[in-house]
Every structure is written in C-alpha cells, then in structure tokens.
Amino acid sequence: MNQLFWEIIGWLGYLQRASIVFQLLLIIVLVMVWRWLRKHPRLAKVPKPLHLLIAPAGLGVISAFAKSLGWDAGLLTYLSLSWLGWSFLGLLDGLLQELMPAARVHELQSRLIKPIYLTTVVLMFINRLDNVNDLSVIELGQVFGISLTLGKLFTSLVVSYLLLVGTGPPAAGVSWLLQKLLGYSEGSRKAVELIIRYLVVGIGVTAVGFHIGLNGTALVAIAGGLSVGLGFGIKEVFSNFISGIWLLFEGSVRPGEVLMVDNDPCEVRKLGLRATLLWRDRDNAELLIPNQMFFTAQATSYTATDRLRRSEIRIGAAYRHDPRQVLQLLEETALNVPRVLKTPAPRALQVKYGDSAIEYSLRYWIADPMSNIGIVSEVNQAIWTAFKREGIEIPFPQQVNTIRDQPSLMSGRDAPEKPDKTRR
Amino acid sequence: MLAKRRADPLRMAPASALSIVKLRFSVGLLLVALVLSGCSALSNNTPVMLYLAMVIGKDDRISSDTQKDARQRVDLIVSSFQKLYPNVQVQLALYQRSQLISELRRRNAADLGPDLVLTDAQQAKDLLREGLTDPLPQTERNRVQTDPGLLKQVRLNDGRLAGQPLVMFPQIACFNTQVIQKPPKTLNELLEVGAAGARVGLPANMDEVLWTAGSLNALPALAAASRNQDLSAEDRDRITGWLTWLQQASNQRNITFFENQGQLTTLLGKRELDWISCTSDMLFRLRDQLGDDFGIAPLPNGPEAPAAPVHLLRVLALGRDSSSSQRSMAIALSDFVTNPLVQRNLSLLSMSFVPVNPDVMIPTKSSKTLAALEQALESSQVQIDNLSVIDQDGPLSRRMTNLLIPLVFGVSQPNTNTDELIQILNQGS
C-alpha cells in the first residue's frame, strides 16, 4: 500500500517538465474558454452532434498546430482524442435509442459503456505515466494469509461489477430462449432470468475468490465472519435476500404478478436482493417492500394460478320492474363490454330488497387484474345506457314520513281526561 | 410587492454567476502565479524525480518476485547515488523486453517518456535508431571508465552512443547443490549427470543455447556462415554434429528443452529442475528461493573447445522527454555507475554481475560466485569475435529458433537442418 502511495506521489514529478506544465495550463485555459463560449446563443443553435465535437476537435487542431511548430503536444493530443471518444459516446445515445427504449439506453450508457470507457482512458493514461503491468503486481497486503496485489484487486472489482451489471442482457436472452422452447408464462420467464443472473453472479464471485487465491481456510474464515455479522447487523439483509430467492423458486412473488397491497392491486416489477418493487396503478406509485414481508405476512394474489379476476357491481332498480327482465338486461350488458370475458359468463343476481330499490349484483370476469377500475367504469356506463334505453329506473332513496301526535308525557291515571282528536 | 419579490431571485442569479466566474478566474490566476513562482524558485536542492524504465530478464513475466528483485538491484545503485545527490528520487517501471519499444512509443507520444532506460545493448541501439532515446554525450570519463570493447557494442555505425554500459551478466550454469554436488565441467559430464537422475533444463532459444555450439566447436563454422564465407565439409559436419548433440540430448530421459531461460529459472526456483543454463541477473531471485542449496558454475566445455556463453550487457540509455534538471541528473547517474569504487561495491554487494570498468579488479579469491562469473567471462573472450557476427536478437535469430524447436522434438533431422541453418546465417552478412 505504501509502495502504491509513493508511486502515485512520484507521478507529480512530471510537473518538472515545462512542456507538461504548459500543456496542462493550456488545457485548463481551453476548457474554461469552452465553458464560457458554449453559452453563447449562436453556439446553442448548433445541432447537438456538431456541438459535442467542437471542443475536442478544436483541441485536436490546436495540438496538431503546436506539433507543426515543433512543440511538445502529446498530452494535448491524448486528451483531445479521449474527449472526442467521450463525445462520440454522446452521439451513440441517439443511435441506440432507435434500437431500444430510452430508459434501457440510459442504463446501458451510465452503467456499462461510459464506466468502461472512463476506466480504459484512465488506465491508458496511467500506462503513459508508468507501466500498468508493473503496478498491478504491487502487493497491497495480506488477506486471509494470501498476498493481495493491486492487479488482483482491480480485476476482481471489475469482474464483480461486470457480473452484477453486465449479466442482465445475456440472462434475459437465455430465459427468452427457454420460454420459446418450453412455453412458460411471462412471469416465469422473468423469474428464470433472475435465477440465471443469481447463478452466474454466484459462480462469478466464487471464481473471483479463487482468482484472488482464497482457499478453504479463507472461506471458513469468511463464513465465520458472516455468522457473527448475521447475529448483529446484517440479519435483516440476509433474511431479505434468502426470502427473495425462496419467493422466486416458489413463484408466488415474481415480476408480473399482481398482489393486493392495502386493498390496491399492485404489479410486481422487480424482485431485488433486498426488496421487491411494486407498481400501484391508482397513483402510479412504486412501492419498495422488503422481501421478508411477503415471506412472513399474508398476501392476496390475483395471479397465483391464473390471471383472471372476478369483479362485481351492485346496483338497485325500482320495485316496479320485473327482476327477471333486469337480471337478463344486466347479463347482456356485461357481455357487450369488450374487456369483460365471455367465459366464464357474467352472472347477475338479485341479492336484496332494499329500502328504495331491489338490489342486484352483476359478477363478471376480466383477464387483466390491474384494469379492474377501468372496466368497472365501462360496465357501469353500459348499465346506465341500457337502463335508460329500457326505461328502468335507478331510484333515489325514498322515505315516507308520517306525522304522529306527540304522546302524553303524563301517565294515563294522573292526566286529565282529554277527548281523542282522531276519533273526532 | 409580489412582482418585486419575484424579481429579486432573478436579479441575484447573474450576480452570483458573475461572482463564480470571478472566483474561478482568480483561482486560475493564483495557480498560474504559483506555477511561475515555483519555476523561479528551482534551485540545486529542488527534488528531482528520475523515471527509469527497466527491462526485466529476457522473456520473463512481471511478477511480485521479479519486481522485488529488480527494486533491490536498482536500490543498490540509487542509495549510493543519493549520498551525492540526496534530492534525487528514482521511480522504477518494469517492462517485458518484447514490449518495451511499443510502450516507449506510447509514452513518448504523450511526452511522458522515462528519463532513463535500462536494457540490453542490442535493444538500446534499436531504441536510439528509432529515436525513442537520445544519444549519450561522449565524455572523457565514460571513455576511460568503460571497457572499450563494451563501448563498441553500444555504438551505432554513425558513432552515436546508445547508452552507458552498466553491468555485465555472464551466462552461467545454475544448479541445486543438494542434487548435484559437483557441477559438470564438460558436455559429457552433463549427460552423465542427467543419466544419474538429475533433471537438466536447456533453452530452445538460439541465442541462449548457442553456448553449446562453442563447446562442440561449431561456433567458428556458424560465424563463417554468418560472414557468408564458403564452408568446408568439415565445417558442415561440425554444425551437423552440434545439431545432432542437441537432438540426442533431448532424447535423454532427464534432459528437457524449454522455450527460454526465464522458464528454466522459474522451474529451478521451484526445485522442479536441478541444472540449467542461466544469466547471472537471475541470481538474486534464485538465491532467495534456493538459499544454501543454490550453486553456480561456468557452463560445460567440450572436448575441443570452451563453451561460448552469451553475456547480457546492461546499458543505461537516456530518455527523450526529460527536463534540463532531469537530463543532467540522468547523465550524472550514468557517469556515477561506472565509477570504480561504485562498480566494485555493487559487484560485491550483488554478487551477480561483472563490472564494466576495466580498472576494477574482481576479488575472485573471496567469492566462489564472482570467480565463476569471472571464469565465464574469460571463456567467452576466446569466442567473442565469432559470437559478435551471429545475430542474437533479430529476425534471423527467431528463424533459427523456429528451426531448432522441431529438431529437439525429433520432428526434423540434423542433416536437413544444417543446410537451412546455413542459409539463414548467410542472409545475415
């Protein structure tokens, strides 16, 4: 570690070279000038692709000019090329968006392409200051009795990061292929994708451990450390992680499933290592619920065995209408709503003699549990139209009030005898 | 009132932006002033960082061991130099020989090239020819303090010096004394040692196995072919005899050919081999690994001629991108390393090389190691003219190596290979 520190401090020695200092100052000045210039209204009108290339191309031209004068401009050239590459990544955004959704492009750029590019540029720069291969064998210390070098640590971190971030698309491809071959549901496909990712990450992390040189003793030591940690701080984390894996295999909480949370249907978007991400249609909210909640508490699912949901509408019709006519009309109306399933057929029931009306219940089935509210609205509209057409009244609450005489507060023996008004 | 309140932040925004611009401008000016004041304050006591690019043993891989080994050797020189110039620090970067030229091209292109390059004489000349290093100024001191023969090896045809010869690592025999108590002095004894059960490793690389051609008296014939001279039937027979010996040696159960000496060194260090040919730059590491079981000896001679070890001449070349202070310190260091006292002390401390200063006497009586190195050097003096004409590093050497590999594996025959080898050597003239 000490050696690495002094190596890095030693790079400051390049500032003894006037050409390096001059180039660094020139770069700082050019960057400041560009930051001032780019706000100019005329430059703002320049198309984005051209706008991105102006500064690095300008730096390249300046470095070429400096070289033609016989000055040292290697650092300028290197930085202008690196900047140019970075700008091209910005242009790549547009091209990629034609192939995949913007969110996926952003994820790909920010998590994979740009970090890889930056790491490469930094490594190449360090390779100009020193030799990366030589730096990579610097010993940082002992871990579980194994000498850990900078190269091993770096490759382990890079491989682990790539495993976590970069295994998504291949896992999605394999699960898609398996879905085509075996014909399982969309939810299962997402579950298989996650299981493949966990497997690859698990195998990869083990391989990284072996690459570093961890042996059985080291693994036992890690396991010991983890068991102590499980007893204290990371118990919840571990519990959530295990719950997540269990739920995946069980299949009850998979991406695409619809669960009732606080009486609202929510769709499972993502089953993470710690928590499950659900989407609530009512207010477009995303809920992060720890995995162990599903593991320990009761949950209502609309998609455990099938995705059908039975919905119900209660409505009252005036007493003067024949219930058989109302029941038939309700069933026919429901059948005519496009998103109501024909099979199982809608069923209307006469459920109660109410104060103002006879109450009916219309029960029907829908294919998408998340669309319940929208379909309820459609069915209600259709009922209103049908009732109006057939002259069926939906009565307001009716109440007949009869005025009675105030009964005497005195008892019959004590009170003076009065003649009965009603009799008169 | 409301309108006024709304307008306030709008009026504040350009003001704060302006103050940020002013702040940045001031910081920029301060930086420039600092740099300029720093430049003016440079004096003799200003710390000077020298960047040294060093080639590790031929075809060796960079590992923690090689790094430790190289740093130990460089520290021997630098710690002495710092007694004279305490303000100088040296930062070392190790390179594989095959990658040095391409890596230096990249570093030089970014104006971040090293101040000094420590490599072998042949590569130092290549670097100067390619303009990756600057020629060493010819001073009276380096003329007097360096063996004229060695200076000749680092001089280009146009008279420029590619670098300052630093040390000479002779090619020797390294062995495990627990298995081999008495090192073989002749090739026949080497075969006997192998037959007795010791595991012998030989390199298949042309320049590394050329010493056997000396022992079998085939070197004059090879040199004649290199000079494009007509070869007599006897010369051809000698070359065929050498190739036949290599093939027969390979057929021995305990004698194995490996790609290069780097592999041999690694295997001896792991005690998987008992006798190898090696260059003395590996002694540091082998001593560490084998401890008291490590022994060295001159390479075995033949019945008619001595072995022809190919020594490794390490030179210090000057980088191209140094500042004036770095350059003057780099030249001071290259002068310092040939100082007789320094060469003697370094030789005694490291016990792994032979000084390049002709005035330095090697205390051979006090050290068996130095005696073996001196003996190896002496035996090569006999063959030096013949060795100098045979290509040991260029494309011809690689072609000859490609010829030797199928031979030692029994795929091709010595008679056929003799003609092909002569053809290749003829192209070097």
Cβ-defined contact of B24 to A139 (cutoff 8 Å) = no
- Count, in order, helices (H) and strands (E) of chain B: 17, 11
Other CB atoms within 10 A of residue B1 CB: 5
Q: What residue segments make up the domains of chain A, in order of their start?
A: 1-136, 138-232, 235-301, 309-390
- pLDDT higher than 70, residue B36: no
Are B68 and B163 part of one and the same domain?
A: yes
pLDDT of residue A423: 41
Cβ-defined contact of A16 to B53 (cutoff 8 Å) = no
A102 vs A414: CA distance, rounded Å: 91
Are B371 and B418 part of one and the same domain?
A: yes
Domain A309-390 in the same topology as domain A235-301: no
Residue among B83, B85, B96, B8 at smallest CA distance from B54: B96
Which of A16, A26, A34, A72 has the highest number of chain B CBs within 10 A, making it the mutation to test binding with B? Answer: A16
Q: Are B222 and B418 in contact (CB under 8 A)?
A: no
- pLDDT higher than 70, residue B238: yes
pLDDT band, very low/low/confident/very high, at B4 (cuts 50, 70, 90): very low
pLDDT of residue A217: 72
pLDDT band, very low/low/confident/very high, at B319 (cuts 50, 70, 90): very high
Instruction: Convert the pLDDT of each residue in B266-298 to its tens digit.
Output: 899 999 999 999 988 888 888 888 988 999 998
pLDDT of residue A420: 47
Instruction: Convert the pLDDT of each residue in B156-200 to its tens digit.
Output: 889 899 999 998 888 999 999 999 999 999 999 999 999 999 999
Q: What is the DSSP string of B103-155?
A: HHHHHHHTT---SEEEEEHHHHHHHHHTTSSBPBP--HHHHHHS-HHHHHHTB
Q: Chain B: residue nearest A6 by CA?
A: B91
Are B321 and B303 part of one and the same domain?
A: no
Instruction: Convert the pLDDT of each residue in B403-426 to its tens digit.
Output: 899 998 888 889 888 988 898 888
pLDDT of residue A179: 86
pLDDT of residue B9: 37
A118 vs A120: CA distance, rounded Å: 5
Are B149 and B80 part of one and the same domain?
A: yes
Checking phi first, is residue B53 left (phi over 0); if not, alpha (psi -120 to 50) or beta?
A: beta
Chain A residues lying within 8 Å of B31, measured CB to CB = 25, 28
Per DSSP, the three-state class of B34 is helix
- Residues near B109 by Cβ (< 8 Å), separated by ≥ 6? A74, A77, A78
Other CB atoms within 10 A of residue B186 CB: 14
Of B21, B106, B111, the CB nearest to A127: B106
Are B96 and B175 part of one and the same domain?
A: no
- pLDDT higher than 60, residue B333: yes
B289 vs B110: CA distance, rounded Å: 39
Residue B291 falls inside a structural domain: yes
Cβ-defined contact of B64 to A77 (cutoff 8 Å) = no
Distances from the Cα of A63 to the Cαs of A57, A75, A322, B124, in angstroms?
10, 9, 93, 30
Residue B300 falls inside a structural domain: yes
Q: Are B257 and B204 in contact (CB under 8 A)?
A: yes
Cβ-defined contact of A19 to B321 (cutoff 8 Å) = yes
SS3 labels along chain A: CHHHHHHHHHHHHHHHCHHHHHHHHHHHHHHHHHHHHCCCHHHHCCCHHHHHHHHHHHHHHHHHHHHHCCCCCHHHHHHHHHHHHHHHHHHHHHHHHCCCCHHHHHHHHHHHHHHHHHHHHHHHHHHHHCCHHHHHCCEEEEECCEEEEHHHHHHHHHHHHHHHHHCHHHHHHHHHHHHHHHCCCHHHHHHHHHHHHHHHHHHHHHHHHHHHCCCHHHHHHHHHHHHHHHHCCCHHHHHHHHHHHHHHHHCCCCCCCEEEECCEEEEEEEECCCEEEEEECCCCEEEEEEHHHHHHCCCEECCCCCCCEEEEEEEEECCCCCHHHHHHHHHHHHHHCCCCCCCCCCEEEEEEECCCCEEEEEEEEECCHHHHHHHHHHHHHHHHHHHHHHCCCCCCCCCCCCCCCCCCCCCCCCCCCCCCCCCC
| CATH code at A235-301 | 2.30.30.60
Which of A35, A79, A121, A134 has the highest number of chain B CBs within 10 A, making it the mutation to test binding with B? Answer: A134
Q: Which two tokens stand for residue A346?
A: 């809608």
Chain A residues lying within 8 Å of B67, measured CB to CB = 134, 137-138
pLDDT of residue B40: 44
Which of B18, B91, B111 has the highest number of chain A CBs within 10 A, making it the mutation to test binding with A? Answer: B111
Chain B residues lying within 8 Å of A134, measured CB to CB = 62, 67, 92-95
| CATH code at A309-390 | 3.30.70.100
Are B177 and B81 part of one and the same domain?
A: no
The b-or-e profile of A192-217 (16+ CB within 10 A means b, else e) is bbbebbbebbeebeeebeeebebeee
Per DSSP, the three-state class of B336 is helix
Cβ-defined contact of B64 to A137 (cutoff 8 Å) = yes
Amino acid found at A291: N
Residue B1 falls inside a structural domain: no
Interface residue ranges in chain A relative to chain B, Cβ cutoff 8 Å: 7, 10, 12-14, 16-21, 23, 25, 28-29, 32, 36, 72-75, 77-78, 125, 127-131, 133-134, 137-139, 147, 149
Instruction: Cis check for the bond before A344: say yes or no (omega within 30 of 0).
Output: yes
Instruction: Convert the pLDDT of each residue in A198-208 to its tens digit.
Output: 888 888 888 88
Are B283 and B382 part of one and the same domain?
A: yes
Cβ-defined contact of B91 to A133 (cutoff 8 Å) = no
Q: Chain B: residue nearest A131 by CA?
A: B93
Residue B17 falls inside a structural domain: no
- pLDDT higher than 50, residue B8: no
Residue among B388, B284, B373 at smallest CA distance from B57: B284
Cβ-defined contact of A134 to B67 (cutoff 8 Å) = yes
Residue B23 falls inside a structural domain: no
A288 vs A285: CA distance, rounded Å: 10
Q: Which two tokens stand for residue B66?
A: 């090689």
Chain B residues lying within 8 Å of A66, measured CB to CB = none
Cβ-defined contact of A13 to B93 (cutoff 8 Å) = no
pLDDT of residue B3: 35
Are B267 and B332 part of one and the same domain?
A: no
Domain boundary among B298, B332, B355: B355
B96 vs B100: CA distance, rounded Å: 6
Cβ-defined contact of A72 to B67 (cutoff 8 Å) = no
Are B263 and B223 part of one and the same domain?
A: yes
Residue B276 falls inside a structural domain: yes
What's the complex ipTM?
0.75
Amino acid found at A409: L
Residue B32 falls inside a structural domain: no
Cβ-defined contact of A32 to B28 (cutoff 8 Å) = yes
Tell me how long chain A is: 424
Which of A4, A27, A131 has the highest number of chain B CBs within 10 A, making it the mutation to test binding with B? Answer: A131
Q: Which helix (H) or strand (E) holds B278?
A: strand B275-279
Give the CATH number for residue B141.
3.40.190.10
Are B329 and B222 part of one and the same domain?
A: no
Distance (Å) from the alpha carbon of A84 to chain B's nearest alpha carbon: 16
Chain B residues lying within 8 Å of A147, measured CB to CB = 64
> What is the extent of the structural domain holding B206?
171-310+365-426
- pLDDT higher than 60, residue B250: yes
Q: Which helix (H) or strand (E) holds B88?
A: strand B88-95
pTM above 0.80, yes or no: no
Distance (Å) from the alpha carbon of B144 to chain A's nearest alpha carbon: 32
Q: Give the residues of chain A that fall short of pLDDT 70.
A: 187, 216, 229-233, 407-424
Instruction: Convert the pLDDT of each residue in B68-123 to its tens digit.
Output: 888 888 888 899 899 999 999 999 999 998 899 999 999 998 899 999 999 998 89
Of B31, B89, B111, the CB nearest to A10: B89
pLDDT of residue B429: 57
Q: How many domains does chain B have?
A: 2
Other CB atoms within 10 A of residue B117 CB: 29
B217 vs B230: CA distance, rounded Å: 17
Are B242 and B375 part of one and the same domain?
A: yes
Chain mean pLDDT for chain B = 84
Q: Are B377 and B354 in contact (CB under 8 A)?
A: yes
pLDDT band, very low/low/confident/very high, at B19 (cuts 50, 70, 90): low
Amino acid found at A237: V
Q: Which two tokens stand for residue B221?
A: 């014939």
A10 vs B50: CA distance, rounded Å: 9
Cβ-defined contact of A16 to B325 (cutoff 8 Å) = yes
Residue B13 falls inside a structural domain: no
Q: Chain B: residue nearest A130 by CA?
A: B93
Chain A residues lying within 8 Å of B107, measured CB to CB = 127-128
Strand B255-258 with B200-203, pairing: parallel
φ, ψ of residue A379 to 5 degrees: the values are -65, -45
Are B306 and B322 part of one and the same domain?
A: no
Strand B48-55 with B116-120, pairing: parallel
Instruction: Convert the pLDDT of each residue in B371-386 to its tens digit.
Output: 888 888 877 777 777 8
pLDDT band, very low/low/confident/very high, at B25 (cuts 50, 70, 90): low
Residue among B352, B373, B362, B377 at smallest CA distance from B284: B352
Q: Which residues pair with B279 in a beta bridge?
A: B171
Residue indicated by tokens 């669309």: A371
pLDDT of residue B329: 94
Tell me how long chain B is: 429
Integer-rounded Cα Rg, in Å, for chain A is 37
